[in-house]
Chain A
Amino acid sequence: MHEASSKHTQTVCIQGGTVIDPGHMNGRADVLIQNGKILEVGYPLKHPVHQDPTVTILDASGWIVAPGLVDLHCHLREPGFEYKETIETGAASAVAGGFTSICCMPNTQPVNDNAAITQFMLTKGQQAGKARVFPIGAITKNSDGEELANIGELVEAGCVAISDDGRPVMNSLVMRRALEYAKAFGIPVVDHCEDLHLTDGGCMNEGVVSTELGMPGIPDASEEVMVARNLALAGLTGVTVHLAHLSTARSVELVRHAKAQGLPVSAEVCPHHFSITEEAVRGYKANAKMNPPLRTDEDVQALKQGLIDGTIDVIATDHAPHALQEKQLEFDTAPFGIVGFETALPLTLRLVQEGILSLEQALDKLTRAPAQLFHLPVGSLKPGSLADLVVFDPEEEWVVDPEQFYSKSRNTPFGGMTVKGKVKMTFVDGRLVYDAR
């Protein structure tokens, strides 16, 4: 999908780092890249790099070298909301955060429910030349939740999954049909689990803080009843349901139980949901407003447990840029969502620092596991793989400064936070697309 560029012929050796290729390798190794592919990984390399003048040597001493990160859930806003983000700025933000493959949700204007929009997104992604862009098509026409979109056409055009994210399919029969129909194409169906009747205009977690703030709340049950429905439908149809951004303890429990029964289900969690709680909303901070909302400490602990025991397969950003003027509105009228690409890795690394996941496990949730779930040809450093890599310093501390983001938007609750772990280099197709050395 990426046009061959002359740079492909360049041979690059990433030297001196620790290579973590989840499931395959974890240790000191050098990586040799040629023609956009991984040629060799090892220490010492068989290839005589020091005798070969065509090899560019890049020093990664003390740093981690891993497959480029894969995000199954982001919003690139183009077409339709270019004032929030474009595919170009989104893809630039992605590689700055170490992401080399990003799956973008169809809630654009117009909705990505036809091949023309999918092709537009793919073309824009190629033109940007940063992260690989994998569109997710709509489940229903215009994501209205009524008639199925032309799913065959979407898959043919390059969609890797289908979802009506943000406008969840409320009609369970439509969801059943979508799952059945998707079976023929072997693509996962992604659902944002939310019962809109239960949400009833809520805009933060329903609980102690919403009661104090006088804010309409979104109950846990709003997510959980739809998780339970989707699990039942996965059982009925035998088709994999991918549950987007789980946020509650009971959702994790439901999925754990379903997996134990062998139901075809996968689940993701977002860094913000395991990093902070509803307390962050105090002061009516619209940058702490997202859907599903920030929950309680008990939920945070359950999400972490779900990551440890594999109930939760992947970490996804739900990168959702919004313009300053939108987030400056009163809390209840401001839109849901926060940007995520440029903070996801350090927030995930906190789990490693806390001893919850090993570094390899954490990276697995951001690389191999998501690539496998959506059948993407990335997420590995085995020889012959696409040369998509991230190189990061796991020790470097830095302060999140939204003004420095590559994203067009700055809506994050993590501004000013000191985090550890900084992306140094990102490669896509063997090209150095982000360089912060």
Chain B
Amino acid sequence: MGLKRKDLLAISDLSVEDIELILTTAESLKEVGGRDIKKVPALRGKTVVNLFFEPSTRTRTSFELAAKRLSADVINFSPSTSSVVKGETLIDTARNIESMQADIIVLRHSSPGAAEHLARFVRSSVINAGDGWHAHPTQALLDLYTIKEKKGKVEGLTVVIVGDVAHSRVARSNIAGLHKLGAEVRIVAPPTMLPLSVERLGAKVFYRFEDALIGADVIMMLRLQRERLGRALLPSIREYANLFCLTSDRLKLAKPEAIVMHPGPLNRGIEISPEVADGPAAVILDQVSNGVSVRMALMYLLSGTA
């Protein structure tokens, strides 16, 4: 059985059962990556279009690899400028792609809601690969998968999300997913990087990193977007690193078996020290390989062939 829906736009679209189904399917598809011939015919004859309006290497590559392992035909379409500048709307671009019989459109766009907007206009399945600050549901799914793989469960764990939550789609989707599966979510950042009423998303707010770390099972670091510096959110990178860099010393405040996650790319020495990034607690590269399995599962379950 597949997912009884056309699109995946946000974690809030999914029930707990849907999430479990995606994670279980990912688990069974994971072994494909270990084979000599890393391919199954599940999506043979299907067309997947990666429509990326924002530069992205790892997410696009991950989707591309996932689709190829399922034997789908993959097209990468990366308009170099935003739709407005280009003079063609997102909808027109997408309709053009749909007319080439795309079965699945994977969209990355800088506007919050772009995927939902697109899904209303096209018959193809739409997978949100990141829309502005809003959502990045496949990142949350691969993070949930990784936590489950390492910890055996999600429910009851204490997960700390560290950094610029206000401008992070990764944080929003992870808060939603973790909350849904019964984890306790803590967020910690300078208050300038927390959105108004963030507790309403289901997270406990901390301002001191050390306080948030005590008793943590999972520490999820967010990438510091350096372009935020000019907008009075932070005095300096140095001060941010002093207060929020996950160092070996700080890591000791968490549970001894705590894991460290990061959606990449890393700013070594800013939000995470090299010792931690390369140390035994880090599962950052597992996240990357699990990303392929989770995206395979999702495309398979949305394609209607499941």
Contact = CB atoms under 8 A, between A and B. Distances in A.
Interface in A207-243: 207-208, 210-217, 219
Given A214-B131, A214-B132, A214-B169, A331 B111 contact: yes
B197 A214 contact: no
A214 B172 contact: yes
B132 A200 contact: no
Interface in B164-199: 169, 172, 195-198
B197 A207 contact: yes
7 contacts: A200-B231, A208-B197, A211-B201, A212-B172, A215-B113, A283-B113, A331-B117
Interface of A: 200, 206-208, 210-217, 219, 283-284, 325, 328-333
Contact of A207 (B91, B112, B169, B196): B196
Contact of B133 (A206, A214, A328): A214
A411 to B, nearest CB: 16
Nearest to A332: B111
B89 A331 contact: no
Given A214-B134, A215-B133, A333-B111, A283 B116 contact: yes
B86 interface: no
Contacts of B91: 328
A423 to B, nearest CB: 33
A210 B111 contact: no
Contacts of B197: 207-208, 211
A342 B84 CA distance: 30
Nearest to A205: B196
Most B CB atoms within 10 A — which of A200, A213, A217, A283?
Answer: A213
A330 B200 contact: no
B12 to A, nearest CB: 8
Nearest to B84: A333
Contacts of B83: 329-330, 333
Contact of B134 (A206, A208, A213, A219): A213
Nearest to A208: B197
Contacts of A207: 196-197
A6 to B, nearest CB: 50
Contacts of B262: none
Given A284-B112, A328-B91, A329-B84, A211 B117 contact: no
A332 B132 contact: yes
B116 A284 contact: yes
Contact of A213 (B109, B112, B200, B231): B112
Contacts of B154: none
A218 to B, nearest CB: 11
Contacts of A328: 89, 91
A175 B83 CA distance: 37
B195 A210 contact: yes
A206 B132 contact: no
Contacts of A200: 231
B174 to A, nearest CB: 13
B259 interface: no
A213 B195 CA distance: 11
B114 interface: yes
B87 to A, nearest CB: 11
B171 to A, nearest CB: 10
A206 B194 CA distance: 12
B261 interface: no
B48 interface: no
Given A210-B195, A330-B113, 6 more contacts: A213-B112, A213-B134, A214-B172, A284-B113, A329-B90, A331-B112
A329 B198 contact: no
B284 interface: no
A217 B132 contact: no
Contacts of A325: 89
B134 A215 contact: yes
Contacts of A331: 111-113, 117
B246 interface: no
Contact of B196 (A211, A213, A333): A211
Nearest to A219: B196
Name the residue among B83, B91, B112, B132 with the largest chain A CB count within 10 angstroms: B112
A213 B201 contact: no
B196 A217 contact: yes
A332 B195 contact: no
A331 B198 CA distance: 22
Among B91, B109, B113, chain A packs the most CB atoms within 10 A around the CB of: B113
B135 interface: yes
B117 A330 contact: yes
A327 to B, nearest CB: 11
Nearest to A325: B89
A25 to B, nearest CB: 49
The 6 closest A-B pairs by CB, nearest first: A214-B134, A284-B113, A330-B111, A214-B133, A211-B195, A214-B112
A325 B134 CA distance: 23
B116 A215 contact: no
A211 B200 contact: yes
B90 A330 contact: yes
Contacts of B196: 206-208, 210-211, 217, 219
A193 to B, nearest CB: 20
Contacts of A283: 113, 116
